[in-house]
Amino acid sequence: MAHATRDRWAEWLAKRRFGGDPELRADLLAKLVETRDTVLDRAQLQKGETLLDVGCGEGLIGFGALERGADSVIFSDISTQLLDFCREAASDLGILESCRFVESSAEDLGPIENASVDVVTTRSVLIYAQDKAAAFAEFARVLRPGGRISLAEPINRFGSKERGEDTFAGYPIDGLEEIAAKVRAVFEEIQPPESDPMLDFDERDLLRLVEAAGFFPIRLTLDARIEGSGPRSWEGFLDTAWNPNVPTVREAMGQALSTKEQERLTAGLRPLVEGGHGEWRMAFAHLAATKPEAA
């Protein structure tokens, strides 16, 4: 896919989520493979079944399902570029006849027929959904009786400490609070914390939503981690966007700070980033549930 044709979702997946840093990209992809395997294991996918991957991105879960013996996979995403990417990959792999590509959001899976799939999966999709109850209702609608959901969703409230005045992206900023606040304000203007769908739920809300949608039984486990951030490239840090909807750190600094302020923030942060002297806080909820058989 040509760089010039990428939308914000495709560009973020291809480059901006890891700042163009090849070492970080390799580490991230290894973690994504681990998450994919967990999602598919908990889906209890059987050979011959149909799987719907909502927010398929570059197709990691969907192609993994086909490798495990799924009869067919529906790749669903709001990005036509990412669907094109998956279609091209399926064609190259010679499995196009086992794939269907649908442009839709998690909250409106309208093109997908009622009771037509055996498994629904997501990975980091509900964090972008304003109406999460509608998404769960759609998952229930498209599943056959006895069908399953298997979701992996980050609980970003867990890392909300990083929004405090004493850190920036997990790094201490003693003496630079005022400058860092100007950069933070760029992000918060785009995604106000009080209305950001990435922050409006936790694992208890997921349990409430899936139960209200009629699923039973339900299993949710929380994988929460607090650890050192590890050394990384300063340029890669600057060119990282934390999600597809916000600018990179470099872009936000350029927008919010004078040249002198950028130099001060760089002098304070760069040694911490390159030395790995930050704190990384993340939690993922792994949710699996079944749509009951008809009475």
Angle between helices 22-43 and 60-67 (to 10 degrees): 50
Place of tokens 């163009």: 20
Averaged confidence pLDDT in the chain: 94
Coil/strand/helix, residue 40:
helix
Q: DSSP labels for 44-71?
A: T--TT-EEEEET-TTSHHHHHHHHTT-S
Which of helix, strand or coil describes residue 104? Answer: coil
- What's the average model confidence in pLDDT over 19-45? 93
| Tally of CB atoms within 10 A around 18 | 22
Q: 161-185: string of b/e by CB count within 10 Å (b at 16+)?
A: ebeeeebbbbbebeebeebbebbbe
Q: Residues of CATH 3.40.50.150 domain(s) within the chain?
A: 1-155+201-225+280-295
The token duo for 259 is: 């040249």
Position 17 scores a pLDDT of: 92
Confidence of residue 165 (pLDDT cuts 50, 70, 90): low
Q: What is the pTM of this model?
A: 0.93
Report the candidate in 104, 103, 107 with the shortest Cα–Cα distance to residue 127: 107
pLDDT at 21: 87
Alpha carbon 24 to its chain's center: 16
Of the pLDDT bands very low, low, confident and very high (cuts 50, 70, 90), residue 166 is confident
- Among 74, 61, 56, which Cα is nearest to 117's? 74
Q: Among the CATH numbers 3.20.20.70, 3.30.70.3270, 3.40.50.150, 3.90.870.10, which is that of 1-155+201-225+280-295?
A: 3.40.50.150
Query: How far does the chain reach from its first CA to its final CA, in angstroms?
Result: 48
Q: pLDDT tens digits for 243-265?
A: 999 999 999 999 999 999 999 99
290 pLDDT higher than 70: yes
Say if residue 218's pLDDT is above 90.
Answer: yes
Rounded Cα gap, residues 25 and 196, in angstroms: 26
CB 117 within 8 A of CB 143: yes
Q: Is residue 2 over pLDDT 90? A: no
- What confidence category does residue 23 fall into, taking pLDDT thresholds of 50, 70 and 90? confident
pLDDT at 6: 84
Could you read off the pLDDT of 226-245 as tens digits, one per residue? 999 999 999 999 999 999 99
Residue 4: per-residue pLDDT:
53
The model's pLDDT over 36-70, given as tens digits with 9 standing for 90+, comes to 999 999 999 999 999 999 999 999 999 999 999 99
Give the H/E segment covering residue 96: none
Torsional sign, CA 209, 213, 216, 219: negative
Burial grade of 75 (CB within 10 A; 0-12, 13-18, 19 or more): buried
pLDDT at 3 over 60: no
Distance between CA 163 and CA 114 in Å, rounded?
42
Nearest to residue 49, comparing CAs of 74, 75, 83? 74
Using DSSP's 3-state secondary structure scheme, residue 79 falls into coil
